[in-house]
Amino acid sequence: MDQKPEDSSTPPSQPESEPTQAPEPAPASEPKSASEPTPAPEPTASEPTPASAPAPAPEPAPAPAEETTQTSETGISKDSLNMGMLCHLLALTGLITAGAGNILGPLIIWLMKKENDPYVDEQGKESLNFQISMLIYGFVCGLLLMVVIGFILLPILALAWLVLTIIGTIKASKGEPWKYPITIRLIK
């Protein structure tokens, strides 16, 4: 019995000239067998839909609400509510502009819309009267700083101005009547 020593690097069933290769796994998109159909991939938003499939008809966009439509609760148009709200809201620009914006913002809106819209006329007057009143009260508190009581009154006045302006803005946006307290009615 003459046997040749076997080489440990190649298995005995394969010839030495062919390299050993492992079978490649099938790609995930190919079916594992002919009897198992694969589901068709769903098109994504970035992929176009096939030409043979009709595209679903887009739903018509709802018609935009007109600016002059009446609200059900107050009978005031949306445009009027927004402009009335801006009369109060623009008073807060006084925080940025060191005092000039709290009168200029409401004044500009009121001057632009007072002839055409009675709601904006009413809200503009109310906001301007309050802002002018607060300016006068602030000046008086500034004078009272010399007597020390101004150091107490000025922060209280500033907080009242901020809170009341925000309340006025919210009330005007809802169409509710709002009269600022402690207001001198200079503009009638």
pLDDT tens readout for residues 60-100:
655 554 445 555 476 888 888 988 899 999 888 888 877 67
Q: Which residues have a Cβ under 8 Å from the Cβ of 37 and sit 6 or more positions away?
A: 31
pTM score of the predicted model: 0.60
Residue 147: pLDDT over 50: yes
How does residue 146 score in pLDDT terms, banded at 50, 70 and 90? very high
- Is the torsion defined by CA of 62, 77, 113, 131 positive or negative? negative
Residue for token pair 């060191």:
98
The pLDDT assigned to 188 comes to 84
Report how far residue 98's alpha carbon sits from residue 145's, in angstroms, rounded to the nearest whole number: 19
Residue 31: pLDDT over 60: no
The pLDDT assigned to 72 comes to 44
Structure-block tokens of residue 62: 């709802």
Average pLDDT over residues 132-161: 92
Compute the C-alpha angle 97/173/92, nearest 5°. Answer: 10
Structure-block tokens of residue 103: 């009168």
